[in-house]
Amino acid sequence: MRTQFKQNLLVALIAGMLLPVGAQAAEADLLKRIEALAQQNERLAQQLEELKGQVKANEAKAAKAAAPVAAEAPKVDTAALDDLKRQVKKLEDKSLGKWLTVGGDYHFRYDHLKGDTKTFTDVNATFAKVGQALQGDFFANPSSVAGTSRYFGAPQAGGMSTAGALSGLMGFSQFMGNVATFDQARAFLGTPANAGMLQGIGAFAQTIGAYSPENSSLMTNRFALDLNAKATQDVSVTAHMTMYKVFGAQNENAVTNSGSAPFFADRVGVFDGTLSHVPSNSYLNVDRVYATWSNIADQEMWFSVGRRPSTGGAPSNLKNNTPRPGNGGTPSLLVDYAFDGMTVGYAPEIDSLPGAYAKICYGRGFESGFRNTPTNSLADTDMVGIAIIPIDTDPLRVWLQWNRGMNIFDAPTMHNTYFGNTVAKTNLGDIDWYGVGFMSTFKKVGPGNLHIFGDVGMSVTHPNNNVSAQFGFQGLMTGGFFNPEAPTSKTGTAVALGVRYDLPSKTLFGFEYNNGSKDWITFAPAADDMWTSKVGVRGDVYEAYMIQELDRMPISSFFSKAFFRLGVQRYDIKYTGSNNWVGAPVAMSDVNGQMMTTTPLSTATNIYATFDVKF
């Protein structure tokens, strides 16, 4: 009895030590009761020792003496002790550890980036040059006399004055901004005055020769904090907050080719869909936060709403050495974008399809504000999707995905970019995406385990009649700068393949291959690649990496670990416009001085190393 009581008492004491700070008043009361019980236990122990002495002194009379003496001994108040245990458990249930889980990770990355470009005419630099020239000409000789313009004064150039040339350029820019459709673009360019202005602008063309950009030591810090709160039975809130910055900077200039035309549309600047995924500043931004209601109607059904877990989906978890995304992720080949939206999912119990589930997803990529106002005719950019996962087990995971992006914008809202502050100015149409893929694990292949994956995707554009005036009348995958093309549907395809081999020494070797066709377009600007999202490249990308986990016992959680990763990416880009749905692709072999908004990068290499700590 004494041993059992001490065990119960020890449990109560330990539980009391773990009580939360907010329960200190109740804890004090419990400690008083525990102390009283302890004193009672000491008196009982003394009496038991006396009984033992009597038994040893008179064994013959022990049987008769023990019964009445034991009956006189005080008894433990078991009811009070049980009540005490119930109160301890009640306070334990209210402690932080019962309803809140805290985790996160730290990520250091070093990159050596080197590439090669093609000769092109920088649109932004050209317009800046002609504006500066005409302004300088006017201020040097403010005249309205015909023929006084140094640049447009000749009869064949319009015989303009300095004032007329400057006002003509301003009028050209103003009327250009009012063009909304393909037909209007053709009419605008066919006007003699505008055609003459275009010819004159051509004399100021800023042709950028081929060059080899290089950054031999780009270093970044990323810190993430994860919170999961159980609010009520079957209802939880999950949050993921991230800081991601470049060493020695509080902006994204190091990855956007600051001061020159960017290389890719997904690395022009940071916007809502890439915040926390492209290096920017040291602010801790909310990357994800969503509420989930599970077990609806006592079924394997769930509803989730908020800033979605729509980044870092399968199979990118293999390279990132993170767990599978679960039923909240999306295939990384089709979507890697920080969406706000919602999901309804259902996981039926089918013996022949273990782990099967399906879900309907919705996300908003751009909020246009009030409609039908004098200054706004934009529609919201939304995405809907259906995911069917017929099997989801450790040995095999298979997924089928369809997404539709509706009212695709021409540019997201960004600040301080090479093009200034950008905003969406038109909706270009819709895009359908289709995907099917798998991941599989084979255990005990030689000394280790083998992971493989395969994923294929298809994109189909549905352009409307709109063109983007701010990008030279280009449409949804149609036209070139000042060279509009009638709306035409374009179909592209992509393939992603990869393997990873895990050795018992916690050494992991991986290789991945991506290919995108000429008209392939994805929705993945938030992918963890420095040059550009490799899943959106129109060409080939090869990547090899090695991961070495530290052989250290996890402390903060079962999944805690630390590892180094060393890798190399090789980009062989066949067509311009990777990760850009504005404008038609041009074969890299045909690029030779054309007007373009981004620098055509033909080949690139990225050697990188990371140190990651998961807690």
Q: Tell whether the model's pLDDT for residue 55 goes beyond 50.
A: no
Q: Tell whether the model's pLDDT for residue 460 goes beyond 90.
A: yes
By mean pLDDT, which of 34-43, 255-264, 389-398, 425-434 is the weakest? Answer: 34-43
Q: What span, in angstroms and rounded, lies between the C-alpha atoms of 414 and 436?
A: 33
What pLDDT, on the 0 to 100 scale, is given for residue 5?
A: 42
Q: Tell whether the model's pLDDT for residue 304 goes beyond 60.
A: yes
Contact 612, 571 (CB under 8 A): no
CA-wise closest residue to 518 among 590, 437, 464, 453: 590
What pLDDT, on the 0 to 100 scale, is given for residue 30?
A: 42
Q: Specify the DSSP class assigned to residue 395.
A: S
What pLDDT, on the 0 to 100 scale, is given for residue 267?
A: 98
What pLDDT, on the 0 to 100 scale, is given for residue 76?
A: 56
Q: What span, in angstroms and rounded, lies between the C-alpha atoms of 456 and 333?
A: 8
Give the 3-state secondary structure of 83-140: HHHHHHHHHHHCCHHHHEEEEEEEEEEEEEEEEEECCEEEHHHHHHHHHHHHHHHHHH
Chain segment 191-211, per-residue pLDDT in tens: 998 998 998 899 999 999 999
For the packed helices 78-93 and 2-17, what is the interaxial angle rounded to 10 degrees?
30
Q: How confident is the model at residue 98 (pLDDT cuts 50, 70, 90)?
A: confident
**pLDDT > 70 in the chain, percent:** 87
Q: Tell whether the model's pLDDT for residue 12 goes beyond 70.
A: no
Q: How confident is the model at residue 20 (pLDDT cuts 50, 70, 90)?
A: very low
What pLDDT, on the 0 to 100 scale, is given for residue 77?
A: 72
Q: How confident is the model at residue 54 (pLDDT cuts 50, 70, 90)?
A: low
Contact 477, 581 (CB under 8 A): yes
What pLDDT, on the 0 to 100 scale, is given for residue 22?
A: 40
| 398-408 exposure pattern, b = at least 16 Cβ within 10 A, e = fewer | bbebebebbbb
What is the pLDDT averaged over residues 133-147? 95
Contact 229, 237 (CB under 8 A): yes
Q: How confident is the model at residue 78 (pLDDT cuts 50, 70, 90)?
A: confident
What is the pLDDT averaged over residues 602-606? 98
What is the pLDDT averaged over residues 525-541? 98
Q: Tell whether the model's pLDDT for residue 334 goes beyond 90.
A: yes
Q: How confident is the model at residue 83 (pLDDT cuts 50, 70, 90)?
A: confident
What pLDDT, on the 0 to 100 scale, is given for residue 84?
A: 72
Residues in the chain: 615
Q: Tell whether the model's pLDDT for residue 70 goes beyond 60.
A: no
Q: Tell whether the model's pLDDT for residue 257 goes beyond 50.
A: yes
Chain segment 337-383, per-residue pLDDT in tens: 999 999 999 999 999 999 999 999 999 999 999 988 888 889 999 99
Q: What span, in angstroms and rounded, lies between the C-alpha atoms of 350 and 503?
A: 34
Q: Tell whether the model's pLDDT for residue 162 goes beyond 70.
A: yes
**Mean predicted lDDT score pLDDT of the chain:** 89
By mean pLDDT, which of 56-70, 91-105, 219-233, 336-350 is the weakest? Answer: 56-70
By mean pLDDT, which of 55-64, 171-180, 393-402, 498-507 is the weakest? Answer: 55-64
What pLDDT, on the 0 to 100 scale, is given for residue 371?
A: 86
Other beta carbons within 10 angstroms of residue 21's beta carbon come to: 8
Domain ranges of the chain: 2-94, 122-208, 288-614
What is the pLDDT averaged over residues 173-182? 96
Q: Tell whether the model's pLDDT for residue 459 goes beyond 70.
A: yes
CA-wise closest residue to 494 among 536, 524, 544, 549: 536
**pLDDT > 90 in the chain, percent:** 79
414 or 4, which is more confident = 414
Q: Would you give the end-to-end CA distance of the chain in angstroms?
A: 43
24 or 570, which is more confident = 570
What pTM, to 2 d.p., does this model score?
0.84
What pLDDT, on the 0 to 100 scale, is given for residue 582?
A: 98
481 contacts: CB under 8 Å, gap ≥ 6 = 123, 471, 472, 473, 474, 583, 594, 595, 596, 597
Q: What span, in angstroms and rounded, lies between the C-alpha atoms of 482 and 182?
A: 11
Q: What is the DSSP string of 476-516?
A: BTB-BTTB-------EEEEEEEEEEEE-TTSEEEEEEEEEE
Whether a cis peptide bond, with omega within 30° of 0, leads into 315 is yes
* CATH 2.40.160 correct for 288-614: yes
β-bridge pairing 539-549 and 507-516: antiparallel
Q: How confident is the model at residue 69 (pLDDT cuts 50, 70, 90)?
A: very low
Q: How confident is the model at residue 450 (pLDDT cuts 50, 70, 90)?
A: very high
What is the pLDDT averaged over residues 229-244? 97
Q: How confident is the model at residue 326 (pLDDT cuts 50, 70, 90)?
A: confident
Other beta carbons within 10 angstroms of residue 498's beta carbon come to: 20
Q: What span, in angstroms and rounded, lies between the C-alpha atoms of 139 and 133?
A: 10
What is the pLDDT averaged over residues 143-152? 93
Q: What span, in angstroms and rounded, lies between the C-alpha atoms of 581 and 591?
A: 18
